[in-house]
Amino acid sequence: MILYILYVYINIILPISLADSFYCFDLLALLTMSAQRVDAKVVMLGKEYVGKTSLVERFAHNRFFFGPYQNTIGAAFVARQIQMGDKVLTLGIWDTAGSERYEAMSRIYYRGAKGAIVCYDLTDRSSFLRVKFWVEELQKCEEHCKIYLCGTKSDLIETDRTMRQMDYHDVQDYAEEIKAELFETSSKTGKNVDELFQKVAEDIYNSTTFQLMTEEKGVDLGQTNNSYFYSCCHN
């Protein structure tokens, strides 16, 4: 009985009583995730302000927020279905906080991910340093997770070419070196956003491990309901 009380205290009461909104929102996101069946986990990584949340918003809801920037706290979760021929694949996407304050938490979210979208801001060279950090981390800890490099805010460099701080070919060379795919996107205009997630979904769908998993567990990919739920974690 004492052990049971101790267990409840350590695992439920203590985290909640210590919690700031970060823990509460994370709990909400975790509950959301557990309520939704997903076929594969995808994680968004990258420095703060690079546009991870905007990318997910564009993909999941086809919208872009023009309002003031709100940094993600902990992580947010969204599930979205993608049509793959006559089948439907449900991606569970974890949008992590870019702030280094939450770095340890981000590690929880890439565990078991089939794909990682590692973002950098095309107009901010320093954001690419974080890309290298996350790539090394993934190579070390999640070797089966496929990496997609994503240069964000391409609309800004289309308006003014001098704003580009990361050369496409330099990044492409790096992508080849680490066997990653490279996309340049704009969440503002929607350019390349669907293409990026479609590629992630296709690679997962065609992967041997995924095919084996669906055969063994009998996951039904033939569902047609396109509902999704988004748990948003902003301060």
Ligand X SMILES: Nc1nc2c(ncn2[C@@H]2O[C@H](COP(=O)(O)OP(=O)(O)OP(=O)(O)O)[C@@H](O)[C@H]2O)c(=O)[nH]1
Binding site for ligand X (CB under 6 A): 46, 48-54, 69, 71-72, 97-99, 152-153, 155-156, 186-188
Q: Which residue is nearest to ligand X (CB)?
A: 98
Least Å from the CB of residue 70 to ligand X? 6
The smaller minimum CB distance to ligand X, of residues 53 and 81, is found at 53
Residue 45 and residue 134 in contact, taking contact as beta carbons nearer than 8 Å: yes
For the bound state, the minimum distance from the C-beta of residue 66 to ligand X, rounded and expressed in Å, comes to: 7
The residue among 64 and 228 lying less far from ligand X, judged by its C-beta, is 64
Least distance (Å) between residue 227 CB and ligand X:
23
Q: Give kind and range of the element (H or E) at residue 135.
A: helix 127-141
In the complex with ligand X, which residue's Cβ is closer, 68 or 85? 68
Instruction: Specify the long-range contacts of residues 55-63, CB closer than 8 Å, at least 24 apart.
Output: 55/117, 55/119, 55/150, 55/152, 55/185, 55/187, 55/193, 55/196, 56/93, 56/95, 57/187, 58/187, 58/190, 58/193, 59/93, 59/193, 59/194, 59/196, 59/197, 60/93, 60/228, 60/230, 61/230, 62/190
Residue with Cβ nearer ligand X (133 or 207) = 133
Residue 113 C-beta: closest distance to ligand X, Å: 17
